[in-house]
Amino acid sequence: MKCEQIAGLLPDYLQGTVPSEREKQIEEHLAECAECRDDVAIWNKLVLLPTEQPSLASRERFDALLEAYRSGRDDRAITSSTLPRRASFWDTFRWMRSPAGAVAWSMALVILGVFAGSRINTSDSHQQDLAAMHSELTNMRQLVALSMLQEQSASGRLEGVTWTRREGQLDPQVLSALMHTLRYDPSVDVRLAALDALSRHSGQPQVRSSVADALQEQQSPLVQVALIDQLVEWRDSQAAPHLQKLRQDPNLNPTVRQRADWAISKLN
Amino acid sequence: MLQVRNGAGETLGVLFDRYQTPLFNFYCRLTGNRSLSEDLVQEVFLRILRYRQSYQPGTPFRAWIYQIARNARIDHFRKTRPQTELEPEMLPPVLPTDSAQEQQEAALLNSALMRLPEEKREVLLLSRFQELKCEEIARLVGCEVTTVRVRIHRALQELRQIFRQLERTPAQSRAAGAAQHLPPRRLGNEV
C-alpha cells in the first residue's frame, strides 16, 4: 500500500472506525513509512492541547439570555404562570447593575425625593404629581433603552432591546431606534431580538413597512426567515411584492427561497 | 434535546453545561480569541432556543449543534474579517501539563495549528476534538465524504510539517518570524 492510498483511509483509522482487515494493511504501511507514522504521532500529540475553561460570566450571560427570552415570550403569551413575575423581579436587579440602569435608578430616587418634598408642602396636588412622576419615569426608562441600544457590546444592545419590551407604548424615538437596530445592527442576535420586540407593535404601520423593507437588506438567512415568518404571522398582504423581489435574488439561500414561496402562498 | 425542542427552556441549561466547554474550545482553537469564542457560544445557544423546531428527532444532536456553531461563525466573519488569527497574545494560555517537554510541545502544536489555513484547521478540529465522524463532517461542510477524508489527511500532513519546522527553529527566531507574519493589530474587534 502506498501513501496516496493511505490518505483516504487514515482519518477513519485515526478515529477507530476502519474495518479490521484495512487496519492491518494500514499498520503494515505505517511500519514502513516514517512520514505517515509521524502523521499519526502528531494526531496523538494533539491530546496535549489543554482544554480551556470558559469564564464564569459565560454561564451568567446564558442565564440572562434564557430569562430575557422567557420574559419576552411570556409577555407575548400573557400566561397566568409565575414566570413573568419571576422574570420581572430578576430584571429589576439586572438593570440596576448596568451603568445606564444605575443612572436611571439614581434619577428615579431624586424624583422620588422631590415628589416626597412636594407632597409634604402641597398635598392637594398629589394626583397631579403622581401622574407627572409616572410619565417622567416612563420617559426615563425609554431614554435608558435608547442609550443601551447604542452600546458597543452586542450583549449591551441585546439588553437594550429587552428593556423596550417593558413598555406597552413606545416613544416614536425608541421605536425608530429599534427599527434601525433591526436593519443595521452588526449582530444577528440583536437583530433577531429587535424583531421580536417590534412584533408587539404591529399596530403601527411604520413598523410593518420597516420589517418588510428590512427583508431586502438582510444577508443572514436566519434573520430573513424570521422576518418572513413575522410577515406571515401579521398576514400582511402588502408584503407579497417584497417577498417576490427577495426570491428573485440569484444569491438567495435555498431555504430562504423555499420559505418565501411558502409565505407568498400563505399571503395570497 | 427533544424536551428543548418541545419548549422546556430549563433543559437547555443541561445542554449548555454539556456543550459549552467543547464549543468554547472549538472556537478558541479556530479563532485564537477567547472573548469572541464566548460570544459565539452564546450565539449558538440563542439560535438553539429560537430554531429548536428545526431539530429532527433521531438525528445526532452533536452534528446539529456544530452545524449551528459553524453557521454562527460564518455569519460573524461575513461582517468582520478575522484580525486575530496569528496574534500570540490572543491565543489561549497553555496550562501546565505533566512535564516541561509536553508543555513546550503543546505550545508548539498550538502555534502550528494557528498557522494552518482555516478550512484545514476546522476539519482537523471537528474530527480530532469534536468527535464528529467523516460522514457527519461531510454533511456539515456540504461535500463528499471522500473529500473530507483527503482534507483531514492533508491538514494533518501540513500540521506535521509546520510543527517539525517549528521544532527545529530556536525559540527566539521563531518569535521574530511570527512577528513578521502578524497582521497589524486592530482593537475594537467586538461583535
Domain boundaries, chain A: 3-48
Is position B84 within any domain?
A: no
- Looking at the partner chain, which of A43, A65, A153 has a beta carbon nearest the beta carbon of B45? A65
Is residue B116 within 8 A of residue B162, CB to CB? The reply is yes
Q: A217 vs chain B: nearest CA distance in angstroms?
A: 14
Is the pLDDT score of B140 beyond 80?
yes
pLDDT reported for residue A98: 59
CB atoms within 10 A of CB B184: 5
Flag whether B13 is in a domain.
yes
Q: What angle do helix axes A205-217 and A172-184 make, rounded to 10 degrees?
A: 20
| pLDDT tens figures, A231-246 | 888 888 788 888 988 8
Who contacts A43 (Cβ-Cβ below 8 Å, separation ≥6)? A14, B128, B156
Last residue of a domain, one of B19, B51, B79: B79
Model-level ipTM above the cut of 0.85: no
On whether the CB atoms of residues A89 and A166 are closer than 8 A, the answer is: no
B19, B48 in Cβ contact below 8 A? no
Query: d(Cα B109, Cα B112) in Å, to the nearest integer?
Result: 5
Task: Find the CB nearest B46 among A14, A65, A153.
Answer: A65
* Residue A99, phi then psi, degrees to nearest 5: -60, -45
Question: Which residue, B19, B45, B79, sits at the end of a domain?
Answer: B79
| Contact state of B47 with A51 under an 8 Å Cβ cutoff | no
Instruction: Answer yes or no: are the C-beta atoms of B48 and B68 closer than 8 Å.
Output: yes
With an 8 Å Cβ cutoff, are B97 and A48 in contact?
A: yes
Residue range A9-37: mean pLDDT, rounded: 91
Residues of B with Cβ-Cβ distance to A38 under 8 angstroms:
160, 164
Q: What pLDDT sits at residue B81?
A: 60
Residue B43 vs residue A97, higher pLDDT: B43
| Rg for chain B, CA atoms, rounded | 18
Q: What is the pLDDT of residues A65-92, one digit of tens each?
A: 787 777 665 554 443 333 344 444 545 5
Whether residues B103 and B177 share a domain: the answer is yes
Task: Tell me whether A153 touches chain B (CB under 8 Å).
Answer: yes
Question: Smallest Cβ distance to A15: which of B109, B127, B159?
Answer: B127
Residues 30-69 of A with CB under 8 A from B: 35, 38-39, 41-43, 45-46, 48-55, 57-59, 61-63, 65-66, 69
Q: In whole angstroms, how large is the CA radius of gyration of chain A?
A: 28
For chain B, the domain total comes to: 2
Would you say residue B174 lies in a domain? Answer: yes
Nearest to A60 by CA among A155, A153, A164, A151: A155
Distances (CA, A) of A221 to A184, A226, A232, A251, A253: 15, 9, 16, 11, 7
Range of B38's domain? 2-79
Structural domain contains residue B85: no
Q: Residue A53 above 80 pLDDT?
A: yes
Q: Which amino acid is at A216?
A: Q
Co-location of B103 and B176 in the same domain = yes
Q: How far apart are CA A127 and CA A119, in angstroms?
A: 10
Q: Which cell numbers hold the place of A184?
A: 443595521
Across the interface, which of B24, B39, B51 has its CB nearest the CB of A52?
B24
Is there a domain that residue B126 lies in? yes
- Residue B52: list chain A partners with CB under 8 A: none
Which CATH number is B146's domain given? 1.10.10.10
| For chain A, the helix, strand and coil percentages under 3-state DSSP, each to the nearest 5 | 80, 0, 20
DSSP element (H, E) containing A1: none
The pLDDT value recorded for residue A215 is 86
Residue B6 in contact with partner chain A when CB distance is under 8 A: no
Q: How confident is the model over B64-116, as pLDDT tens digits?
A: 899 999 999 988 887 666 544 444 444 444 455 567 888 888 999 999 999 99
> Which A-chain residues 223-242 have CB contacts (< 8 A) with chain B?
226
pTM recorded for the entire structure: 0.53
- All residues of chain B having their beta carbon less than 8 Å from the beta carbon of residue A39 are 153, 156-157, 160
Give the three-class secondary structure for A260: helix
Which position has the higher pLDDT, A68 or B124? B124
Contact B52, B9 (CB under 8 A): no
Query: Is residue B190 in a domain?
Result: no
What is the C-alpha to C-alpha distance for residues A224 and B153, in angstroms, rounded to an integer? 37
- Residue B70 sits in the same domain as residue B108: no
